[in-house]
Amino acid sequence: MTDTRAVLYVIVCGAGPASRIGTLVSLAQDDGWDVCPIATPSAVHHFLDIPALETLTGHRVRSDYRTADDEPLPRADAIVVAPATYNTINKWAAGISDTYALNMLAELTGLGVPIVVLPFVNTALAANRAFTRGVDELRAAGITVLHGPEGFQPHPPRTGSSVLDRYPWHLALDAIRQHHPSPPSNPRTST
């Protein structure tokens, strides 16, 4: 069977909104994307309902390097990293790839695939110079980081659960649409 939908990798980090990643997946699917989920270890162990996400996307949630008998991921046309944590943003910007998700981000950045980052950090973390340097570094690499007036507004420490309903998933897809006004159709073999 041939799948002609464009492929969107959704890289999920371990933060409160990760438990609601189905919102982003459904919005992307409504736009015509074939969504492939990739998760950090923290997201897998603390936030995600893996069977539900796999049912929703039709793809296995990747969180580790594939073995010889695993099917390879289809080539990504675009990537959304959401919710993007302080840890992931800083490690990625510093070139650290100690998880499968970070390794994918390092490689896809180098390949020039359009990437949109929607952070989820509190005001204390956002004020940290390491974080602002990381955001600046990613933006200098051509990555769209939706932080500040045009994107995610940090919340006070220890109040993250009170802003989950307002997490702006739609902004990530709006930004992807600037790269792909309508998802490109690419023939792919589906298994």
Place of tokens 């690419």: 186
Tell me the domain boundaries of the chain: 2-183
Name residue 103's amino acid.
N
> Does the pLDDT of residue 190 top 50, yes or no?
no
| Each residue's pLDDT tens digit, 95-128 | 999 999 999 999 999 999 999 999 999 999 999 9
Residue 71 contacts by C-beta under 8 Å, 6 or more apart in sequence?
A: 191
pLDDT of residue 4: 80
| Each residue's pLDDT tens digit, 7-58 | 999 999 999 999 999 999 999 999 999 999 999 999 999 999 999 999 999 9
Task: Give the span between the Cα atoms of 11 and 99, in whole angstroms.
Answer: 12
| Among 182, 171, 163, 170, CA closest to 27 | 170
Assess contact for 90 and 105: CB atoms under 8 A: no
Confidence band of 182 (pLDDT split at 50, 70, 90): low
Assess contact for 8 and 33: CB atoms under 8 A: yes
- Architecture per CATH, domain 2-183, reads as 3-Layer(aba) Sandwich (3.40)
